[in-house]
Amino acid sequence: MDSSTLICQTMIAAIGEPTWLMKLWSYVQIFAGFSFIIFIHELGHFAVAKWSGVRVEQFAIGFFREIVGFTKGETRYSFNLLPLGGYVKMLGQEDFEVDTTGELQYREDPRSFANKPVGVRMAIVSAGVIMNLVLSLVLFVIIFSIGKQVQAPRVGATIPGRPAAAAGILPGDLIKSINGSSIDEFTDIPMTVMLAKPGEPLEFVIKRDGETKTINVIPEVNTKADIMQVGIASPQTATFLVVGPGYDSENPKHPRVGDTVVKMGDTEVTKDNANSMMNLLAIDPLRFSQVVVERLPITAKAETNDTPERVTVDLEPRIALRRLDTKEVTPHLLGLAPLMRFSSITPGGRADLAGMEVGDVILKWGDIENPTSEQIEKSILKPQKTDWGPTERDIPVKILKQSTGKIVNRSIRPKIKIVPILRIQKGNPTIQAQYQMFADQYLRVGSIVETMMGSETPAAKAGIPANAFITAVNDQPMQTWVQLAEALRANAGHDVTVTYNLGDENGKTATLGVPHSLRTMLGIGPASSILAVNGQERAKVERNGKTAELVVNQSLALYEALKESVGKTVEIRYRPGPLADAETKEVTITEDMLVPWVGSTAYTVDLITGGEMITLRKTNPIAAMKLGVKKTYFFVMQVYQVLERMIISRTLGVDKISGPVGIVDLGSKMASAGFVDLLWFLALISANLAVINFLPLPIVDGGLMVFLIIEKIKGSPISVRIQVATQVIGLVLIATAFLYVTLNDLAR
């Protein structure tokens, strides 16, 4: 039986570059692993064929020329040059003549595959797939008997406005089960949610402060990715892995990579509460202008047994504006839109080569002054074609350097991947950088947004122009967007005087009317959550052309819920902070409270901490087997989900899949990471092979199974013309797919 081209999509953690000898050994391991997977697959066909009395003429691992082989009995056993496939050749599988009617005339041999009953042939065909599933199960049992490092099934953060947050799940909650299915690691959570029935509540059993609680959560569909989700982020530790561009590693008062937070305010940060405290720091950083960290002393020869020192470091919160309405293009603060800056730069990428650095403020992109991230994206994606196909082009850029404070001109050339020979553009052009971060430390207005939720914005009414450099509010000096947002929130319901400079003109003023919002009336800030309006937890809204029910904490839903209550006194249930208990209060709703602008004004810090890891191990063989069955099922369903998103919903591009070259590259990295990681990868590949090989496509086992089902129904084989035509089409499709994914891998 021919096996399918291996197709796999996975993500792995970054691994340090191994030596050439280690890399060579990792390739040897992964090729040996692939060969073993294929051997098990073909062994299934071989064993059932032998058991059924079918004569097997050849049992081969790999394709092309034979490297080594031997003949035993009636079968030739061979190991061929390319070990990314294999086959079992049986008598009668291809041994036929065509008569004048064009129908198949099989040799009259009782040991011929073609002369066996349809049920027997189905068993032979499906045996390879079954063996791959069994192999995947066995590998998982071995993995979990040894133990594997995984992310803890703890809630790192709940995304405001999403189902988990609205239902009352809190950061730090340990999720024990969902709908009765045990949760052993964090990745079980999105998989269980994804496979649940749409629209039905999920029963989350959680452990919080030593108590077990049950919370019902109704997942929502992510329309962009076409999957169900509840809005839960993975857990964290208190050690910084990344610090933002606003911090100086030479300044002892600034946080550094490797620092571990040990105290926030009056609270000691421990292993048990680190996740909750780091989430609180990320969502509500205004509460913590300083934190205490432990760090190893910087010495010429620091030893691992050096005693860490405690240092108090200063933190700089930054603004993170959200869109009020899906119709809005640019997030803004009452109509004032900040400039953008680079948030990440890929080393050696186009932005890096052009001299861009993380934190650089983008003043001009091409001919666009004060560009938004959407305008930058459109400029990068703008096609430029010649008679020879797509071509790269230079884009002039003006930036304010984070490191020097000087304005410089640069030229950047977006990278375009071209399929060799065919001269076809593959994927979108990229500058290999991210630029979605607001320039918080640079209080210059990039642009003025004219309307918000159908009304004129306060900034547009005030006549504040683009390029205005804001210096004060009510004569109080302003230096950052965070300070500006807090000043406006403190003056909700009143007019304020905004002082700004414009070009050579200094000290210009404008009167800006700051509207109230539900949060300002409740006396709560951006880190709070609105849970219900008069008992209503959800509201119907028009979103992307569709009607959807969203939790009222989301801007559109809150607007709809409040719109029906203007002039009325309603009961509001809310949570003042991410770790606070829910409270209720009666509020009289007025027209100027409809736009929830405070809720769309969030703050965060440029700090990324490590993930909380645990060792997942089952010493009981039965428990290890049960976990192996679940993981095998998850991986199989994940492959089907990927295929559905690529073929039916079209929410996942085919350029995301990997072919043999990409799989070997990923596999070699997994092999370099360790034996358990290699077994994990092989279990994943085995499950993938089972699914792909049983799809109803010509050439692979699934296609032959379709022919057998049709034969069983009609009582005779399909005509030779149809069989030959489908085989040719199948060969062309698989050859094309093989060529595409291989070129895709090489381009990557």
Indicate which residues carry an active-site annotation. 42
Helices (H), 564-693: 621-647, 660-673, 675-693
8 A C-beta contact, residue 457 and residue 448 = yes
Residue 421: count other Cβ atoms within 10 Å of its Cβ: 8
Those residues whose C-beta lies under 8 Å from the C-beta of residue 81, and which sit 6 or more positions away, are 62, 63, 64, 65, 66, 67
Residue 264: count other Cβ atoms within 10 Å of its Cβ: 20
Q: Rg of the chain over CA atoms, in angstroms? A: 31
8 A C-beta contact, residue 512 and residue 458 = yes
Handedness of CA 728, 730, 734, 737 (dihedral sign): positive
8 A C-beta contact, residue 150 and residue 188 = no
Query: What are the phi and psi torsion angles at 347 (to 5°)?
Result: -55, 130
Query: What are the phi and psi torsion angles at 60 (to 5°)?
Result: -120, 140
Kindly tell me the burial class for residue 197, based on how many C-beta atoms sit within 10 Å of its own C-beta (0-12, 13-18, 19 or more).
exposed
Interhelix angle 20-51/660-673, nearest 10 degrees? 110
Helices (H), 338-409: 350-353, 373-381
Those residues whose C-beta lies under 8 Å from the C-beta of residue 22, and which sit 6 or more positions away, are 672
| Nearest alpha carbon to residue 159 among 206, 201, 217, 202 | 217
Instruction: For residues 93 and 57, give the distance between their C-alpha atoms in angstroms, rounded to a whole number.
Output: 10
Residue 563: count other Cβ atoms within 10 Å of its Cβ: 13
Rounded to the nearest angstrom, the gap between the alpha carbon of residue 101 and the centroid of all alpha carbons in its chain is 56
Q: Give the DSSP letter string of 657-693.
A: -B-HHHHHHHHHHHHHH-HHHHHHHHHHHHHHHHHHH
Exposure string for 89-109, b = 16+ CB within 10 A, e = fewer? bbbbbeeeeeeeeeebebeee
Instruction: For residues 723 and 712, give the distance between their C-alpha atoms in angstroms, rounded to a whole number.
Output: 16
Those residues whose C-beta lies under 8 Å from the C-beta of residue 612, and which sit 6 or more positions away, are 151, 152, 154, 156, 234, 235, 236, 237, 274, 275
Strands 309-314 and 290-295: antiparallel
3-state SS assignment for residue 575: strand
Structure tokens at 15: 């691994």
Structure tokens at 599: 């809720």
- Side chain identity at 670, as an amino acid letter? M
